[in-house]
Amino acid sequence: MSDRTYHLDQENRILRRIIKRLEDEIDRLETKVSVLKQQIKDLKEDRK
């Protein structure tokens, strides 16, 4: 394997790790948003 191929492979691995971390963070935020939406809905119901 050439140096260039090796470096590209390393970069790919790093980028995949970053993407995985971002996907996990997006999931976490989507869950948070979902919970907040439900809380808002509940508050609106309570006011009626």
Q: Check: pTM over 0.75? Answer yes or no.
A: no
User: Which residue, among 22, 44, 25, has the nearest Cα to 36 in the 3D structure?
Assistant: 44
Q: Token pair of 32, please?
A: 């948070």
Give the chain's radius of gyration (CA, Å). 21
Host domain of residue 42: 1-48
- Can you give the pLDDT at residue 48? 82
- Number of structural domains, the chain? 1
State which H helix or E strand residue 3 sits in.
helix 3-47
Cα–Cα dist 26/37, whole Å? 16
- For residue range 1-48, list pLDDT tens digits in order: 689 899 999 999 999 999 999 999 999 999 999 999 999 999 999 998
Amino acid at 6: Y
- Can you give the pLDDT at residue 39? 98
- Can you give the pLDDT at residue 2? 87
